[in-house]
Structure 1
Amino acid sequence: MQPLAATAPPRTASGLVLDFLAYLEFERGLSRNTLDAYRSDLGQFLAFMEGRGRGVLEATGDDITAFLDGLASGGVAADGSPKRPAAAATIQRKAACLRSFYRHVRREGLLDADPTADVRGPRKREQLPKVLTRAEVAKLLAMPGRDGDAEPITLRDRAILELMYACGLRASEATGLDVGDVDLEDHMLRARGKGSKERMVPVGRRAIDALVRYLRDARGTMVGGGSERALFVNARGGRLSRQGLYKIVQRHAKTAGLDDRMSPHTLRHSFATHLLAGGCDLRTLQEMLGHADIATTQMYTHLSAQRLQDVYRDAHPRAQHG
């Protein structure tokens, strides 16, 4: 496959990548996290092609397959040290990035064929996410302030855990909330999801109560005289980071005797699974989770079925072997 030299002037590889990332940011509205991942993926592929003595516009399907296969096998680093094989989900993302990149390059008239047309990344192994039981959620949410502690950070932790479970928020959505995004009177919250898409989500009474107490008794002390708009702030009064949120969840999970590797996403998965078990329909759940494709939401029907099987095996006297 050859570039269309007659229809476009020569372009540097880095320039092509920057053009593509600008397209994703300004026309597709992709998040900063996705853009950073794609920049890293394309940088890795550019280095791979340079090692083969050719540029990205000269790549073939065999090149891309070799690149993905190399990731799957691990191979060796530039310094000769062995590398760990990449996870199937990571390789799948890189394959998707390359497909999107070459479609864009073709639209720009720089190639006459798409080298990714017949390339298939490894099939992502279906792995059901970890979900807490209702009792485990109650135990986790009771951790902040369990000893009567009413320090500002404790009130913040209680509010953020309650809100994440009440609304099924992603970590980036929770840390991205501003004070004005929560309507305490109407019990509604405006979340900004992937691609900066906004959605309105109901907030339960216990989460509202925890938020009211945090806003009344803690946030002002933590912010001091600053003008920070973030709903949830760190000990210095600035916006709480996703890393900070992970530490909050893991700290309280460990204290509650739960898996200390639990992430904020575990609360989102638990929210979805418990709503389905309670009779929520898929379309409503899709809207509350902010999923663009209902197929993503359907994962939770499998999760609920697995949960039913587990309960049945544990509880039914004739479900046991032996």
Structure 2
Amino acid sequence: MGDLVPSNSSLQLAHAAEVANQIAAQGTFNQYRARLSTHTLRAQDADFVRWSRYLEAMGMENSHVAWNEDPRHWKHVSWGLIEGFLQWQSNAGYSLATIARSLATIRAYCTHATRAGVIAPEAMALIQTIHSPHPDSRAGRNKDAQRPTTRRGAKKANPTRISREQARRLRDNHPDTPVGRRDALLMCLLLDHGLRSSEVADLQVTDLDLAQGVLRFYRRKVHMTQTHRLSRATLRAAQRYVEAGDAPANGILLRTIAKPYSQKLGGPINAVAIGGLVRRLGVRIGLYRLSPHDCRHFWATRAAAAGTDPIALQEAGGWNDLTMPRIYIERAAIANARVQLGADLDE
């Protein structure tokens, strides 16, 4: 039997397959990022800034490359390098949540770089063995307790607690000015409805139906549209904001100030600006490091304490599952409510 020689058609197919793989490899990051929300992309890009600073501290030249664009930059990334990144962040005082998220980001791009043929499967197998403890796990709590440095990162380990009186002041104590009326509506949406900052930033003028007293809005994080019946305070604040002419004729509902220290409203406000505004409003009443998420935490805790069932809380809060609602409800429960001790010792 003679030697088997590949036919021209087989060679052409092999060449075409290789070219197709190269094209797909170059576009793998773009395809992956196209599926992500703006919030996730922003968080990942922040992880890459820290990743570049870590590599720079390790003595790597040209560490500030487009890690989110070209798989070829990942060729020499190893499990040891990633382990070092996690330890570097821990030493710098970043929160466990931030460290865990950065690991998820790095692993995701390593996975796509492996698909692109840049990282060897054996190297990727070792990268997959890297773990970072969840902040609420026993290992996470132990690790957090051993760290001497102050926590850094976008998320705090624990929410800033808001009392009912502080919530009332945050919601109701605002001057009758364009900025004051905007701030009142903003805090009502955060404290009475538990909206995320991105959801507030996305609100359109047409989402408000003052005649029906409802708000129809889109939750981009979970890709759903919901309707909330406005609380009395929110309806009152929305009416004042609209009737005073503070709301634009169309487009984004809430607006930023026209210039520093101005009482005039300008263009649309974004989620970052909302975070800064909430922090300043908190300082005004003695609450430091207050965030929009703290307001959402207050809303969910209040609802759970009032007896809201998990499914109703999940739907109203826009969660994909019952995990978070159950946590809030379990925290609100009296742990020894069903414990029977019999007669009192004094009897």
Q: Do these two structures clear the TM 0.5 threshold for a shared fold by scoring above it?
A: yes
Asked if the contact 2:300–2:313 (Cα under 8 Å) also holds between the matched residues in 1, the reply is yes
Higher relative contact order (Cα pairs below 8 Å, separated by 6+ residues): 1
Answer yes or no: is 1:201 the counterpart of 2:207. Answer: no
Distance 1:8 1:119 in 2: 32
Asked if the contact 2:96–2:133 (Cα under 8 Å) also holds between the matched residues in 1, the reply is yes
Q: TM-score, normalised by structure 1?
A: 0.72
Q: Using a 3 Å threshold, how does the CA distance of structure 1 residues 44 and 262 change in structure 2: closer, same or farther?
A: closer
Asked if the contact 1:173–1:191 (Cα under 8 Å) also holds between the matched residues in 2, the reply is yes
Which letter does structure 1 place at the counterpart of 2:216?
L
Distance 2:213 2:94 in 1: 46
Distance 1:197 1:108 in 2: 33
Distance 1:45 1:260 in 2: 29
Asked if the contact 1:191–1:201 (Cα under 8 Å) also holds between the matched residues in 2, the reply is no
Q: Could you tell me which residue of structure 2 aligns to residue 314 of structure 1?
A: none
Match of 2:45 among 29, 36, 39: 39
Match of 1:230 among 252, 255, 264: 252
Q: Could you tell me which residue of structure 1 aligns to residue 166 of structure 2?
A: 136
Distance 2:46 2:283 in 1: 33
Q: Could you tell me which residue of structure 2 aligns to residue 116 of structure 1?
A: 127
Match of 2:293 among 265, 271, 285: 265
Q: TM-score, normalised by structure 2?
A: 0.67
Q: Could you tell me which residue of structure 2 aligns to residue 105 of structure 1?
A: 113
Cα deviation, 1:155-179, whole Å, max 9, x if unaligned, reads: 1111111122221011121122111
Q: Could you tell me which residue of structure 2 aligns to residue 216 of structure 1?
A: 243
Unaligned runs of 5+ in 1: 1-6, 74-83, 310-322
Q: Could you tell me which residue of structure 1 aligns to residue 271 of structure 2?
A: 242
Q: Using a 3 Å threshold, how does the CA distance of structure 1 residues 44 and 135 change in structure 2: closer, same or farther?
A: closer
Cα deviation, 1:133-158, whole Å, max 9, x if unaligned, reads: 3232122222113xxxx222221111
Alignment of 1:1-322 (within 5 A): 19-20=28-29, 22-26=30-34, 28=35, 30-42=36-48, 45=51, 48=55, 51=60, 56-73=74-91, 84-108=92-116, 110=118, 111-113=120-122, 114=124, 115-124=126-135, 125=140, 127-145=157-175, 150-184=176-210, 185-194=212-221, 196-220=223-247, 223=248, 229-236=251-258, 237-255=266-284, 257-305=285-333
Q: Using a 3 Å threshold, how does the CA distance of structure 1 residues 24 and 260 change in structure 2: closer, same or farther?
A: same
Asked if the contact 1:156–1:218 (Cα under 8 Å) also holds between the matched residues in 2, the reply is no
Q: Using a 3 Å threshold, how does the CA distance of structure 1 residues 87 and 252 change in structure 2: closer, same or farther?
A: closer
Asked if the contact 2:222–2:319 (Cα under 8 Å) also holds between the matched residues in 1, the reply is no
Which letter does structure 2 place at the counterpart of 1:159?
L
Which letter does structure 1 place at the counterpart of 2:230?
V
Distance 2:18 2:82 in 1: 23
Distance 1:112 1:251 in 2: 49
Distance 2:222 2:32 in 1: 10
Which letter does structure 2 place at the counterpart of 1:104?
H
Unaligned runs of 5+ in 2: 1-16, 64-71, 142-156, 259-265, 336-347
Q: Using a 3 Å threshold, how does the CA distance of structure 1 residues 107 and 198 change in structure 2: closer, same or farther?
A: farther
Q: Percent identity of the aligned residues?
A: 25
Cα RMSD, aligned residues only: 3.3
1:240 is displaced (CA, Å) by 1.7
Q: Using a 3 Å threshold, how does the CA distance of structure 1 residues 50 and 56 change in structure 2: closer, same or farther?
A: farther
Q: Using a 3 Å threshold, how does the CA distance of structure 1 residues 40 and 261 change in structure 2: closer, same or farther?
A: closer
Query: How many residue pairs are counted as aligned between the two chains?
Result: 275
Cα deviation, 1:45-81, whole Å, max 9, x if unaligned, reads: 46739939995234332332222223223xxxxxxxx
Q: SS of 2:94's equivalent?
A: coil
Distance 2:59 2:256 in 1: 44
Distance 2:224 2:108 in 1: 20
Q: Using a 3 Å threshold, how does the CA distance of structure 1 residues 62 and 137 change in structure 2: closer, same or farther?
A: same
